[in-house]
Structures are given as C-alpha cells and as structure tokens.
Amino acid sequence: SIFVLVAEVGLAICHIIALVVSFVSLHGTLKRKKDQSVHHAVSIVKPLLGADIHVEFNLESFFKLDYDIDRFEILLCVEDKDDPVVPIVRRLQEKYPNVRSSLFIGGKNVGLNPKINNMIRGIEAAKCPWLWIADSGIYAQTDTLQEMVRCVGPEIGIIHQLPFTVLPRNFASYVNTVYFGTFHARAILVSHPFNLQCINGMSCMLRKSALEQVGGLEKFSPYVAEDHFIVKAIVGKGWKTTMCPLPGLQNHGRISMTLFCSRIVRWTRLRFTMLTFLTLFEQFSEMLPMGVIMAFAARYLFNVAFWVPFVIHVAVWSLSDFILLQRLLNKWPSLKSFRFFFPFWFRQLISLPLFLYALSSRNVMWGSQRYKLLFNGRAVAAHDHEEQARRTSAKS
C-alpha cells in the first residue's frame, strides 16, 4: 500500500513536469537569441503511400514553408508508379516550380521495413546536412522549418516534433486528439528535460552525419519501430535530442474508432516486444486503473471511504490533462473545451480493454502486410513465421 501511494506521488510529479515543460517549451514560448542562425540547409524526405482526402493539402504545406528556397529541398518517395499520390505530387511540382523537389518512384528493397525501403533512395540523394523525415499525414505550419532549425546546436543530433493533431472533426478524431494531447504527450514531455529516448518518428529532423555515423538508414531496415532504434543508436554515440516548440500536426483523412483502436493496439504490441517490462506496468500510468488501486491502498492505510481518494484522484488527474490538452491546442479554456469531456472519458474506459487485447497476440498489420513481432524489435512476415512453425511441428 505504501508503494502504491509513493507511485501516486511519482505520477503527480510527472504531471507537474509535463505541464511545466509544455508552458516553457511549446508554441514559441522558449526564449531564443535573436541572432541565432535559421539558415541550415535541410532535405525534407516525404515517404508517401496512397492519397486520402487531405494528402494534397498536407503536401502543399511543405511547398509553402516560409524559408529560404535555396536552403531546402523536398524529396518525395513513392513505391508504385500507379500510386494515386503521384499525379498530386506532379501537380504541386508544376504549381511551385521555384521549390526544389524530386520524385523518387520504385523504392529500394534493403530490408523488412517498407517505410525505409520507400524512402531510402530519397535519403541517398539528399544534398543537405539535415534530414527532416515527415510522414504523409503531417501538416506543416509555414514557420515549422524555421522553428526546427532554431533548435540546431553543436551537440544536437535529433530534433523532433511532439505529435499532435489538427482540430478534430468527428467523435473518433476527438478521442484521437485526447490521446495525443494527454497520455502520449505527457510521456514525451516528461522525457524531454532528461534527454530520454521517447521520440515519435512521425516528424523528426536528423543530422545526416550522425545517421551515417551509426550505419545509415539501411541498418535499421530489419526493425518495425525504426525511429526508436535510430534514436537509441544516435544518442548512444553521444548526440543529444531536443524538441521543436511547434507540435507536429497530424491531418489524416476521416478517422474512425476502428482505425484509432488498431493504431493503439499496434503501438502497444510494438512497445511490448521492445520494452516488455515497462509495458506491463503501462496501465498504472492511466487514470482509472491507478485511481482504483490507490483508493484501495488509502482505505487500507488510513481507513477512509474508497470513493474519497478515488474522486480526488480523478478530479486532479482530469484537471491536469485538461490543462495539458489546452496547452497543446494553444488555446485558453472556453465553453467549446467541454467538447472533449466525453471523448476524454471514452478513451479512459477503452484503455484497459485495448491493452489486454494487444497482449493477446504479436501480429500487426503494416500497410497491406501482416507481420509477426519478435522480442528484439524485429519482425517477420506472418506467413513465413507460420510456415516455419508448421515445419518445426512436422519434424517433431
């Protein structure tokens, strides 16, 4: 019981750290020297697959970046020449002829990871000392690149954006926004001051020489969560990471609850196979499971009614998450903020069932392929794994 209360205090400290970092470091509140250079040359690498309703809008935002056009290039990578995104890319290239951009079709098979296979040719052709890898679902604000290069320093090897979302449109997208604005954001914000490896690869800028120092992108092709292992390798060489003041805005097509749940399950399975011990305790960092355990511990130690500590826990936790979410939205609370109330509680209620379901298997869908996750961060095609299992069973 004492251990549970100590854990509760530890979680409270994490909430405080996340709030402080969000107010100090996000949305341009971090004070920077006025004479700091913002002229680093950057190669923007965009791995593309398919065309949802927002892909052209998202891609165009990179062509409209407020940055010296001689200091950045856009490298657009597509696996299939018949991909519907190809005519969109060509249309944007014609619309913005002054922006240096190249389209790479066909990819290069260097390993299991389809994202790396897709963008490896773009990486190899990059002419700039910094590589900004941004998923197709990322929307860039006009000053995003300026803010990212302002973070460049002699010891910095990785500059990442905290993943968030554009304004939600339906209930599922509200749940998605709540997830990225509370649970997911808190983990990254708490890790940031301590240079811990908690970085999402949706929008991330790498020092090219640091990537080459650890063997290049090709070395990480056997891994599903390539971003985790790239960060681990670069930090292991003594480089530091930092976070851009502007969050990385995801702007996918219409989000459904099925899509949201499948993403959460896939990411949980990835974490379980890479960080098994930590993932098993993950639910203790969620509001309701920890609240129930803490309330029973308080009842045992202090002989108080169960509901008293539970209600206090839920109220304080909800307030903290609400403030953090508003900070990422960069808005003051208003009556419109209550639109997040039901999505917030819905996410809390489905968290444990999704977690338990995720632990029931190690199969994940990745694009159009199904993979079996191994406990070393690697994966094999599911049909290959099943065939090998049948052969082993036949021999025995």
- CB count in 10 Å sphere of residue 288: 17
* Residue 34 burial by Cβ neighbours in a 10 Å radius (0-12, 13-18, 19+): exposed
Say if CB 56 and CB 137 are below 8 A apart: no
DSSP state of 340: G
* Strands (DSSP E) found in the chain: 42-48, 72-78, 101-105, 130-134, 138-139, 156-160, 163-165, 203-207, 240-243, 248-250, 363-366, 369-373, 379-381
Dihedral over Cα of 120, 122, 124, 127: its sign: negative
Asked whether 265 and 357 are in contact (CB, 8 A), the reply is: yes
Which amino acid, one-letter code, is at 143? D
Residue pair 117/221 in contact (Cβ under 8 Å)? The answer is yes
Q: Which helix (H) or strand (E) holds 211?
A: helix 208-213
- Catalytic residue status for 68: no
Instruction: Name the active-site residue from 83, 227, 321, 384.
Output: 227
Residue with tokens 């092709």: 221
Two structure tokens written together for 289: 């499971």
- The residue assigned the tokens 């519907």 is 84
Given strand 379-381, what is the order of strands in its sheet?
A: 363-366, 369-373, 379-381
The catalytic residue positions are 227
